[in-house]
C-alpha cells in the first residue's frame, strides 16, 4: 500500500487584497498607519496585481502589517522566512512569526509550529511540543493537524527498547517487550482516532492512511471492505495514492 509518510508542507495562504482601493490609495493609507492597507500592498506585490511582482516588497509590507497586528500578515511573513522568499531564510524568525500569528487567532499557524517543533527548525526539537500544537489545531477544526497527529502516533512515540550489554533476566525481557507492545497498541489506536477525524473533515491523507491501517489490521479489525472505502474516498478527493491503493485491492 502506498502511504504518505511526510508531514504536511508549509504553504503560503495569502488572502486576497481588498479591491475596493487602488494601489495608490492603499499606499497612502499604509503610510498613514493603517495596517490593513499595508497588508493589501503586500498581497498586491506578492501576486503582481496592479504592480510588478516583488517578493522583497511583499515581505516589507507584510512586516508593516504584522507590526500593526494584522495576524494573517504575520503568518504569511513567517512562510517567507521559512522558505527564504524575499527575505533571508531564517527558521527562528519564521517560528516566532507563526507563534505571533497563532496567538492572534490564525489556526493554521499552529500546524506550522508543530511541524517546526517536530523537526527542530528554529526551536529545540520536541515531539511532545509538536503534539501539543497539532492537538490545538485539530481541536480547532484544522484537519491537517489531525492528520499529522495520526502520522506521529502511527510512527510511534515510545522508542524501541535498546539492546544492552547487560544480560537481563528472561522475565525482565518479557515484561519490557510486553510493555512496548502495549504502548504501540495504544499509539496505533490514537493514530486511527486522529486519521478518522481528519478523514471526516476532508483530509485525503487521513482517509488514505486510515485505509492502510484497515488493510494491515493495525489496532483495528482487518477489513478490506473498509480499507477500499477509505481509499476510494481519498481517490475521489484527488489522491493519487488513494486511487493506486484501490487498484491494488481490486487486483488481489
Domains with residue ranges and CATH for the chain? 1-140 (1.25.40.10), 168-252 (1.25.40.10)
What is the reported pLDDT for 179? 77
Residue in the block written with cell 498607519 = 33
What is the reported pLDDT for 149? 94
What is the reported pLDDT for 69? 96
| Cβ neighbours of residue 241 closer than 8 Å, sequence gap 6 or more | 2, 3, 4, 208, 234
Per-residue pLDDT of the chain in tens (252 residues, 90 and over written 9): 666 543 333 444 444 555 567 899 999 999 999 999 999 999 999 999 889 999 999 999 999 999 999 999 999 999 999 999 999 999 999 999 999 999 999 999 999 999 999 999 999 999 999 999 999 999 999 999 999 999 999 988 765 555 555 666 777 677 777 777 777 788 999 999 999 999 999 999 999 999 999 999 988 999 999 999 999 999 999 999 999 999 999 998
What is the reported pLDDT for 208? 95
What is the reported pLDDT for 8? 36
Give this prediction's pTM.
0.82
Three-state secondary structure along 27-92? HHHHHCCCHHHHHHHHHHHHHCCCCCCCHHHHHHHHHHHHHCCCHHHHHHHHHHHHHCCCCCCCHH
Smallest CA-to-CA distance from 213 within 151, 132, 126 is with 151
What is the reported pLDDT for 202? 94
Residue in the block written with cell 512496548 = 180
Amino acid at each position: 500500500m502506498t502511504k504518505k509518510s511526510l508531514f504536511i508542507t508549509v504553504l503560503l495562504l495569502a488572502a486576497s487584497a481588498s479591491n475596493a482601493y487602488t494601489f495608490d490609495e492603499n499606499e497612502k493609507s499604509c503610510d498613514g498607519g493603517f495596517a490593513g492597507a499595508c497588508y493589501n500592498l503586500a498581497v498586491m506585490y506578492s501576486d503582481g496585481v496592479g504592480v510588478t511582482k516583488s517578493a522583497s516588497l511583499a515581505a516589507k509590507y507584510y512586516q508593516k502589517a504584522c507590526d500593526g497586528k494584522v495576524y494573517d500578515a504575520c503568518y504569511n511573513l513567517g512562510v517567507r522566512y521559512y522558505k527564504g522568499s524575499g527575505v533571508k531564510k531564517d527558521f527562528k524568525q519564521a517560528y516566532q512569526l507563526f507563534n505571533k500569528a497563532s496567538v492572534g487567532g490564525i489556526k493554521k499557524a499552529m500546524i506550522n509550529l508543530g511541524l517546526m517543533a517536530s523537526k527542530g527548525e528554529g526551536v529545540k526539537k520536541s515531539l511532545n511540543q509538536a503534539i501539543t500544537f497539532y492537538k490545538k489545531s485539530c481541536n480547532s477544526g484544522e484537519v491537517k493537524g489531525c492528520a499529522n497527529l495520526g502520522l506521529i502516533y502511527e510512527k510511534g512515540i515510545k522508542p524501541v527498547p535498546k539492546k544492552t550489554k547487560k544480560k537481563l533476566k528472561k522475565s525482565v525481557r518479557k515484561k519490557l517487550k510486553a510493555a512496548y507492545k502495549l504502548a504501540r497498541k495504544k499509539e496505533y489506536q490514537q493514530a486511527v482516532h486522529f486519521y478518522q477525524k481528519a478523514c471526516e473533515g476532508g483530509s485525503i491523507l487521513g482517509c488514505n492512511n486510515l485505509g492502510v491501517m484497515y488493510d494491515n489490521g493495525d489496532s483495528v479489525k482487518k477489513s478490506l471492505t473498509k480499507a477500499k472505502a477509505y481509499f476510494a474516498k481519498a481517490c475521489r478527493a484527488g489522491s493519487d495514492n488513494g486511487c493506486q491503493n484501490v487498484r491494488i485491492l481490486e487486483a488481489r
